[in-house]
Chain A
């Protein structure tokens, strides 16, 4: 709970654009009020030890974002787009809601790939991609790239 409060208060300071102790306190009071109103069952606290892993995930994601944008740009601008679209079922090792949601969002944010759906039993993620030449290689890439890093942060 305190972690969420701090994040919300900082978000308030960022959005109002007034960096002062008074404004931070104002944000904290409003956030506390919100948290009381939207009270939910207790959850695992934010663990500070995971911050470096989370930063690593962010850097990895930004790199993927730039690389993938370049690939998509080439596809869009080529005279005869070399498309090989496909939908690949990726088996999930992640089990938590937060983990699966984060993985699906990161995949959707990366150009060229889009999360379409999660199976009912939440063990398979269906991913659409612009270039699928080898589904096995694609699965491995997702699992060893994004999923491993997300798992280190969330589970």
Chain B
């Protein structure tokens, strides 16, 4: 086993453990907002580790550029998805966990008549 294999294995392990942590966080956090916090970012880091391990292990320029491009795209899209889910939750009035202090979110506007179910 070369040093490169060892490094790649370490990165892979770090990525997988981070992903596991995200899954545990998803189960243990009390509301949708804390769950988003616990899961979406950890998964981003996990993906970065796994892609870097891939680039290192193959050591081919074509694979490395593709892995780095994949990391860049994950970093561009993951926060958008997390933000969209969080914002949708606020707009729908999904409650915050008890003890969310302070809550400086302005009270949302009452839903208009058109939005309400008939």
Hey, which bits of chain A sit against chain B, CB under 8 A? 11, 13-15, 17-19, 65-66, 68-69, 72-73, 75-77, 81, 83-89, 104-106, 108-117, 119, 126, 128-130, 132, 135
Q: A77-B21, A128-B86 are in contact. Are A13 and B34 (CB under 8 A)?
A: no
Distance of A83 Cα from B28 Cα, bound (Å): 11
Q: Which of B44-86 contact A (CB under 8 A)?
A: 44-45, 61-63, 65-66, 68-69, 72, 75-76, 78-80, 82-83, 86
Shortest beta-carbon distance from A35 to chain B in Å: 19
In contact, B41 and A85 (Cβ under 8 angstroms): no
Shortest beta-carbon distance from B75 to chain A in Å: 7
In contact, B21 and A87 (Cβ under 8 angstroms): no
The interface residues of chain B lying within 8 Å CB-to-CB of A83 are 29-30, 34, 97, 99
The interface residues of chain B lying within 8 Å CB-to-CB of A66 are 45
- Chain B contact residues: helix, strand, loop or mixed: helix
Interface residue total, chain B, C-beta cutoff 8 A: 46
Shortest beta-carbon distance from B95 to chain A in Å: 12
In contact, B44 and A135 (Cβ under 8 angstroms): no
In contact, B83 and A114 (Cβ under 8 angstroms): yes
What are 30 A-B residue pairs whose CB atoms fall within 8 Å in the complex? Answer: A13-B65, A14-B69, A19-B65, A65-B41, A65-B45, A72-B21, A72-B25, A73-B42, A76-B24, A76-B28, A81-B29, A83-B30, A85-B30, A85-B99, A85-B100, A86-B101, A87-B100, A88-B104, A104-B83, A105-B83, A106-B79, A108-B83, A109-B44, A111-B37, A114-B83, A115-B86, A116-B33, A117-B87, A117-B105, A128-B37
In contact, B66 and A14 (Cβ under 8 angstroms): yes
Shortest beta-carbon distance from A25 to chain B in Å: 16
Q: A14-B68, A114-B33 are in contact. List 9 more A-B contacts (CB 8 A).
A: A83-B97, A87-B102, A105-B80, A108-B83, A110-B41, A116-B33, A126-B104, A128-B86, A132-B101
Hey, which bits of chain B sit against chain A, CB under 8 A? 18, 21, 24-25, 28-31, 33-34, 36-38, 40-42, 44-45, 61-63, 65-66, 68-69, 72, 75-76, 78-80, 82-83, 86-87, 90, 96-97, 99-106
Distance of A88 Cα from B33 Cα, bound (Å): 13
In contact, A87 and B105 (Cβ under 8 angstroms): yes
Q: Which residue of B lies closest to A129 (CB)?
A: B37
Q: Which residue of B lies closest to A17 (CB)?
A: B62
Distance of A89 Cα from B75 Cα, bound (Å): 24
In contact, A85 and B33 (Cβ under 8 angstroms): yes
In contact, B42 and A72 (Cβ under 8 angstroms): yes
Q: A14-B69, A109-B75, A135-B102 are in contact. Are A116 and B44 (CB under 8 A)?
A: no
